[in-house]
Chain A
């Protein structure tokens, strides 16, 4: 059962899950390498929890196969799969002491009292809760409960730990602390973690591998920095946050650079590689908020004519310490934000209502695939990222 002798790589092969007429997971294939910290990220109802529960064996795929360590785990119990799950809100047994909660799995395996209590105590020491062994879960704080849940899951010596929204029951301060703790724990144990969350910041902070999901499908799967710097679609760019999504119609293409005209008449350039987008077709681009420069302009200055410069009015300013978040109203409906470094902002401050020019370097523009979607602000409500 030792985790070092078992490989904890997970493979989903064309997995579909239907609940009645509803397709929760739609033909998803995914490979999570052994020892990775993988985050499944998406809005509620995107199918991320269903994937987690299928890996755990609490749901059965309607189609497709799940393999752990190269072997199909269809029909196997969670224990045989070598997975352990940390439930949302932890589901600690309310009638058992902390020690008995952690020792539960050993009791089910028929270990005698002394042996299981000793093993449970060792794990409680690891999560620094040994002095709370005799308490009931209800007598612990949220953070302590989370550590008990972690110890209870780890006592089965799993090769894969599945975490369902593990930080959502904690307050802001603990959330930040515990996510670092989880990350540290995962590196120490060297087992695969699969962590489901709808919070972008949390996912980026902990994951080696980030899987962005929408409506039962994977939108993009890569390392957090790749996803942040090169979002594949407008959906990913908006959901992961920290990005501006712009669009325009193609006017010309030369040397792998397309020139677009946006709704407000500004000229934008975008790297298109070997693709030859048709003239007049709509393309979507993303620019990181912190790559945008903002400068005040006198009201009636003529169009600068330069590419990658847009004109607008400052809508709101939020000072954030190391930077200022400047929201600018452009001719197009989508929100446009520049994160101006505090040095630049304090040197040349702007005020709400100022006419400004926002500019960026062509090298910072990313071309997005597919249609732009709606830019539904509801989904991206907490997509605030530096």
Chain B
């Protein structure tokens, strides 16, 4: 081969790098466009160029000028996501622990849970909406929509718990029993603290899946909209950059939630590591 061949990268490197750049542009380009346009001046439109820079459209959003009940939709979405998160965490952790024993019908329950991941969300929504109507129960965001979203978040949470508990060494639990812990103490002082980072992962998943869930909510939330439904409605009748302001605000909220989750995982890890004392390593015996 040529002597320079060792130093220069093969042509495939550049081809793949170009492809990756395109992919990143495709992924983030539209989002960045929306963030930029949400700072459009008061006289600007839905497209470039920017007519000055302002917070006008955020203001319009808060005052609900020519927009729907964004603030209410946001409150409902956060409330719904919080409920979904709590229920998903509690039920997935309990189910994950239960599945460690091969109880009768475990296989059936597992496949039924996974089946609801495969089912198209819109049909789940439609079915639940229909059943509520047949039973004469008014669909609400905190009732039927909550149930519809759980059909989506619970199987996810369960699968994550399988992975988390699969790596969990049962010897810790035996050691706890050996040292006189009751079943409850063992769960409280050993099992849950050790798998806590995994549980936070389940919570994060539950929250984000619920927060931007559209198909399973659209026919089950009744007369009040959640945020994704409200945004969808706005795309058809709001023609101002206030729409983009919604995008920017919801993205910021998502980042805050993810940030909180990652920070809490990091804090747990740090609290465990903080105990490092500045003791002399050389005094180590054995």
Interface pair B193/A139, CB less than 8 Å apart = no
Q: How far is the CA of A105 from the CA of B283 in the complex (A)?
A: 28
Interface pair A78/B284, CB less than 8 Å apart = no
Chain A contacts with B in 74-103, Cβ cutoff 8 A:
77-79, 83-85, 87-89, 91-95, 97
A136 at the interface (CB under 8 A from B): yes
Interface pair A131/B283, CB less than 8 Å apart = yes
B181 at the interface (CB under 8 A from A): yes
The residue that B277 contacts in the complex, of A93, A104, A135, with Cβ under 8 A, is A135
Q: Nearest Cβ in chain A — how far from B169, in angstroms? A: 7
Interface pair B275/A136, CB less than 8 Å apart = yes
Q: Which of B117-125, B182-190, B211-219 contacts A (4 or more CB under 8 A)?
A: B182-190
Q: How far is the CA of A134 from the CA of B275 in the complex (A)?
A: 6
Q: Nearest Cβ in chain B — how far from A264, in angstroms? A: 50
Q: Nearest Cβ in chain A — how far from B150, in angstroms? A: 30
Q: Nearest Cβ in chain A — how far from B101, in angstroms? A: 15
Interface pair B180/A177, CB less than 8 Å apart = no
Given contacts A134-B277, A136-B273, contact A78 B285 (CB under 8 A): no
Given contacts A131-B279, A141-B286, A177-B286, contact A152 B179 (CB under 8 A): yes
Q: How far is the CA of A139 from the CA of B273 in the complex (A)?
A: 9
Residues of chain A with a CB closer than 8 A to B180's CB: 77-79, 105, 108-109, 156
Q: How far is the CA of A84 from the CA of B175 in the complex (A)?
A: 9
Q: C-beta contact mask, B219-249 vs A, less than 8 Å → 1, else 0?
A: 0000000000000000000000000000000
Given contacts A79-B180, A89-B171, contact A144 B194 (CB under 8 A): no
Q: How far is the CA of A135 from the CA of B272 in the complex (A)?
A: 9
Interface pair A144/B176, CB less than 8 Å apart = no
Interface pair B182/A108, CB less than 8 Å apart = yes
A-B contact count (CB 8 A): 90
A147 at the interface (CB under 8 A from B): yes
Interface pair B272/A136, CB less than 8 Å apart = yes
Chain A contacts with B in 104-139, Cβ cutoff 8 A:
104-105, 107-109, 128, 131-132, 134-136, 139
The residue that A135 contacts in the complex, of B189, B196, B275, with Cβ under 8 A, is B275
Interface pair A85/B185, CB less than 8 Å apart = no
Q: How far is the CA of A146 from the CA of B169 in the complex (A)?
A: 18
Instruction: Number of B interface residues at 8 Å Cβ cutoff, please give it.
Output: 28
Chain A minimum-CB-distance residue to B181: A108
Interface pair B171/A143, CB less than 8 Å apart = no
Residues of chain A with a CB closer than 8 A to B285's CB: 128, 143-144
Q: C-beta contact mask, A176-194 vs B, less than 8 Å → 1, else 0?
A: 0110000000000000000
Q: How far is the CA of A288 from the CA of B185 in the complex (A)?
A: 54
Interface pair B172/A93, CB less than 8 Å apart = yes
Q: Nearest Cβ in chain B — how far from A203, in angstroms? A: 21
A18 at the interface (CB under 8 A from B): no
Interface pair A87/B175, CB less than 8 Å apart = yes
Given contacts A87-B171, A95-B194, contact A143 B286 (CB under 8 A): yes
B54 at the interface (CB under 8 A from A): no
Interface pair B275/A147, CB less than 8 Å apart = no
Residues of chain B with a CB closer than 8 A to A139's CB: 275-276
Given contacts A139-B276, A177-B286, contact A108 B179 (CB under 8 A): yes
Chain B contacts with A in 238-285, Cβ cutoff 8 A:
272-273, 275-277, 279, 283-285
- Chain B interface residues (CB < 8 Å from chain A): 169, 171-172, 174-182, 185, 189-190, 193-194, 196, 272-273, 275-277, 279, 283-286
Other A-B pairs, 20, CB within 8 Å; known A91-B172, A135-B277:
A78-B177, A87-B171, A91-B171, A91-B174, A91-B175, A93-B172, A93-B194, A105-B179, A108-B181, A131-B279, A132-B279, A136-B273, A139-B275, A139-B276, A141-B286, A144-B284, A152-B179, A153-B178, A156-B179, A178-B286
- Please give me the 7 A-B residue pairs with the lowest Cβ-Cβ distance, nearest first: A143-B286, A91-B171, A105-B179, A79-B180, A91-B175, A78-B178, A108-B181
Can you sample 13 A-B contacts with CB below 8 Å?
Answer: A83-B178, A87-B171, A93-B172, A104-B176, A104-B181, A105-B180, A128-B285, A131-B279, A131-B283, A135-B276, A139-B276, A153-B179, A156-B179
